[in-house]
Amino acid sequence: MPEIARARQGYWRGVGRALRRDPVSVVSGAVVVLIVALALLAPWLAPADPYKASMLRRLLPIGSDGFLLGTDELGRDMVSRLMYGGRLSLVMGVLPVLLAFVIGTSVGLFAGYVGGRWNMAIMRVLDVFYAFPSVLLAVAVSGALGPGMSNSMIALTLVFVPQIVRVAESVTTQVRRLDYIDAARMSGAGTASIIRVHVLGNVLGPVFVYVTGLVSVCMILASGLSFLGLGVKPPEPEWGLMLNTLRSAIYLNPGVAALPGAMIFVTSIAFNLLADGVRSAMDIRR
Amino acid sequence: MSTDAALAAPADRGGPAQPLLRVSGLKKRFTVRGGGIFAAKLTLRAVDDVAFEIAKGETLAMVGESGCGKSTTARLIARLIEPDAGELVFDGEAVGRFGGMALKEFRRNLQMVFQDSFASLNPRLSLLDAVAYGPRMHGLSDTAARARAGALLDRVGLAPAQFGARYPHELSGGQRQRVNIARALAFEPRLVILDEAVAALDKSVQAQVLNLLQELKAERGLTYLFISHDLQVVRYLADRVLVMYLGRVVEIGPVERLYGAARHPYTQALLLAVPSMNPARRTERSPLSGDPPNPIDPPSGCRFRDRCSHAAEVCALVEPVLRESAPAHWAACHLDDPSSGHPEARTE
């Protein structure tokens, strides 16, 4: 029936309209799009080879001829390295959260819907993870698994799973007790259908909102791991690692040394503000 | 209408004399933990040996204070909670027994409307989707389910073209409850349990919804189990009334007989508590004092005795059983039983 389709579209169109009407969301969204586009299009847009070092033009300041944002400690072009660095940093910021989202929501749904002993067992085990500060946990797991990008992503996923499970579990527990679940059972629906139509639809929203806020945290943690030498290995450009290697140049050329940090800062702020915007736009009772 | 065959109206089996639903020996205990982690577990008998029948086409009202087990009884009948003991016989067929009626088939014959109109609708489903969900679960095609949902919304007074695509939060409480009624009717059920279905609505809307329920009942030959604490509404709607106290049935009777000549002191007290339009009949004093006793540890003998002005020695010793004191009028009180040994007992 056409009005149903219209209603669905109506909801998402309403969310889009609310987002567009909020100037903060528009600006932060534009920043996110810009950074993602720059990272994706790096091979075509980058002015120089990000790996090509030159001892002659080390640590050129910002605004140097031919090197708009200067060069790093090995004389590599900062513009190119920041663009290429965005690729890894974004992947490391988004992928673990995405993985944790899938795992965490599934586990949380199960724990919340089944309840009882299962819930108790799952939640208490996760509380153990929860007891560690997330940075410490990420460093510990990453360190135990050994350095490398995939290992640090596993570590980051592990850090976020308990948090997402907790959100998903608490929302599921609330939803499960509502009368519409009983009404659905009365209409002869099986558990699978009830979870898919009635539980998941109402749990995904709050969890999604929570998860969008985690992207910036994850980016910072990932950069932190790279900074400590646990994530991406040189000479790969990655913002956290670049921050680390440029650390020694902070007295010689503070502007250039601060650039990767500024990128991390701007990106995570933009993600955070966008998440806030999406959160209020998605509130169905707005 | 081959697509509709899956949801054809269930047929009457046993004829008009056979009760539509017979509930017997229904019991449910909940285990509650006393304070502290290591405290002993306590048992709360929420529904204790409840038995009654609902005749075809009647409205049986179930009344009682909050916490007396009305809603639990409803949920036990609907099998939303598993009973510890008890048997349901629906139109002559034992529910959930081998050779009897399957649970899914039973639920199709029985639907429920809940008190909280908002919590009983999924906030993310449009009204049309919400009503069409059940029929779809029973194998109706998308188009057929939606057509049926549209017709039902129309019947409860919500034009599908205008309301079908709306979401629950865009409606008033009365409109939402109409949607819930439409959803309950999507299966052509024979029995509808109305669990405080109009309690949360204001009086004028309540009247509209009650009239709608009456119309639908006449139109579709429905039977209602109407759970309420509003005795005025009950008098308007019900044919028979069942009074519950602390998980037990204390009195059942035809509505006019019960309102005119209630046997059980608890029923009498409930009726006295109804605000009267007649100033001469108004009472300042509350006819019932105190809260219901803790159901974890109910009084011995008659559960009502510590709030009853007629309590005598026998009430603490012997638990009264339901006894037919007048045709179709049953009460569980020693006062009503000449052989009970209660000093004030009725003499025959």
Is the CB of residue A170 less than 8 Å away from at least one CB of chain B? no
- What's the pLDDT band for B284 if we cut at 50, 70, 90? low
Mean pLDDT of chain A: 84
Nearest-by-CA chain B residue for A10: B165
Q: What is the pLDDT of residue A154?
A: 92
B128 and A189 within 8 Å at the Cβ level: the answer is no
Q: How far from each other are the two terminal CA atoms of chain A, in whole angstroms?
A: 26
CATH number of the domain that A15 lies in? Answer: 1.10.3720.10
Of residues B33 and B271, the one with the higher pLDDT is B271
What's the domain count of chain A?
A: 1
Q: Which of A58-72, A220-234, A267-281, B57-71 has the lowest average pLDDT?
A: A58-72
Query: Per residue in B17-50, pLDDT tens?
Result: 788 899 988 888 888 776 566 667 778 888 888 8
* pLDDT range class, residue B323, cuts 50, 70, 90: confident
Residues of B (130-149) whose Cβ lies below 8 Å from A: 133-134, 137-138, 143, 146
Percentage with pLDDT > 90 across chain B:
16
CA–CA distance, B180 with B196 (Å, rounded to integer): 13
Please check the confidence at residue B10 and state whether its pLDDT lies above 50. Answer: yes
A5: pLDDT strictly greater than 50: no
Distance from CA of A203 to the nearest CA of B (A): 11
Phi-psi map region of B7: left, alpha, beta (phi>0 left; psi -120 to 50 alpha): alpha
Band (pLDDT 50/70/90 cuts) for residue B3 is very low
Which letter does DSSP use for residue B60 in this model?
Answer: E
Predicted confidence band at B322 (pLDDT cuts at 50, 70, 90)?
A: confident
Q: What is the mean pLDDT of residues A152-159?
A: 91
Per-chain mean pLDDT for chain B? 84
Q: Is B190 on the interface with A (CB under 8 A)?
A: no
Residue A285 pLDDT: 56
Q: How many CB pairs below 8 A link A and B?
A: 95
Q: How many CA atoms lie within 13 A of B235 on its CB side?
A: 11
Give the single-character DSSP code of B117: T
Contacts of B114 in chain A (CB under 8 A): 179, 182-183
The values of phi and psi at residue B238, to 5°, are -90, 155
Residue among B78, B115, B121 whose CB faces A186 most closely: B78
What pLDDT band is residue A27 in, cutting at 50, 70 and 90?
Answer: very high
Q: Does A280 touch chain B if contact means CB atoms closer than 8 Å?
A: no
Instruction: Say if the Cβ atoms of A4 and B165 lie within 8 Å.
Output: yes
Residue-wise pLDDT tens digits, B96-130:
776 777 887 888 888 999 988 888 898 888 889 89
The answer to whether B248 touches B241, Cβ cutoff 8 Å, is no
Q: What is the mean pLDDT of residues A4-8?
A: 48
Question: A248: domain range?
Answer: 2-48+67-282
Q: Which of A1, A10, A188 sits opposite B137 (nearest CB)?
A: A188
B37 close contact with A: CB closer than 8 A: no
Helix axes A201-227, A149-176, angle to 10 degrees: 150
**pLDDT band (50, 70, 90) for residue A50:** confident
Q: How confident is the model at residue A26 (pLDDT cuts 50, 70, 90)?
A: very high
Long-range interactions of B65-69: CB distance < 8 A, separation 24+: B65/B229, B65/B245, B65/B292, B66/B229, B67/B292, B67/B295, B68/B244, B68/B245, B68/B246, B68/B247, B68/B292, B69/B244, B69/B246, B69/B247, B69/B248
Question: Which residue's entry shows tokens 């974004």?
Answer: A90
| B164 to A3: CB separation less than 8 angstroms, yes or no | yes
Q: Look at residues B212, B264, B218, B260 and name the one whose alpha carbon lies nearest to residue B242.
A: B264
Residue A59 lies in a domain: no
Q: What is the pLDDT of residue A11?
A: 67
Report the gap between the CA of B110 and the closest CA in chain A (Å): 8
CA B77, distance to chain mean position in Å, is 9
Neighbours of B8 (CB within 10 A): 9
- Confidence category of residue B286, pLDDT binned at 50, 70, 90: low
- The answer to whether residue B6 scores a pLDDT higher than 70 is no
Q: Let me know if residue A242 belongs to a domain.
A: yes
Residue tagged 């959100």 (tokens): A167
SS3 at position A236: coil
The answer to whether position A218 is within a domain reads yes
| CB–CB contact A201 B121 (8 Å) | no
**A129-148 per-position pLDDT tens digit:** 888 888 888 889 888 988 88
Token readout for B11 is 């047929």
Per CB-CB distance under 8 Å, the chain A contacts of B133 are: 184, 187, 189, 197
Chain B neighbors of A187, CB-CB under 8 A: 107, 111, 133-134, 137-138, 183, 186-187
Classify residue A61: in a domain, yes or no: no
CA distance B258 to B226: 16
Q: What is the ipTM of this complex?
A: 0.80
- Predicted confidence at residue A10, as pLDDT, reads 60
Chain B contact for A180 (CB, 8 A cutoff) = yes
> Does A189 sit within 8 Å of B133, measured CB to CB?
yes
Beta bridge partners of B191: B110, B223
Asked whether the predicted pLDDT for residue B304 surpasses 50, the reply is yes
User: Is the Cβ pair B137, A185 closer than 8 Å?
Assistant: no
Task: Nearest chain B residue to A12 by CA: give it.
Answer: B124
Q: Rounded to an integer, what distance in angstroms lies between the CA atom of residue B107 and that of residue B286?
A: 41
Question: Angle B151-B154-B158 (CA atoms, 0-180°, nearest 5)?
Answer: 140
Residue A98 domain-assigned (yes or no): yes
A194 in a structural domain = yes
B125 part of contact set with chain A, CB < 8 Å: yes
Of A21-30, A37-46, B266-275, B306-315, give the range with the top mean pLDDT: A21-30
Nearest CA in chain B to A9: B165
Cβ-contact A259, A82 below 8 angstroms: yes
Chain B residues in contact with A7 (beta carbon < 8 A): 126, 164-167
Q: How far is A101 from chain B (nearest CA, A)?
A: 21
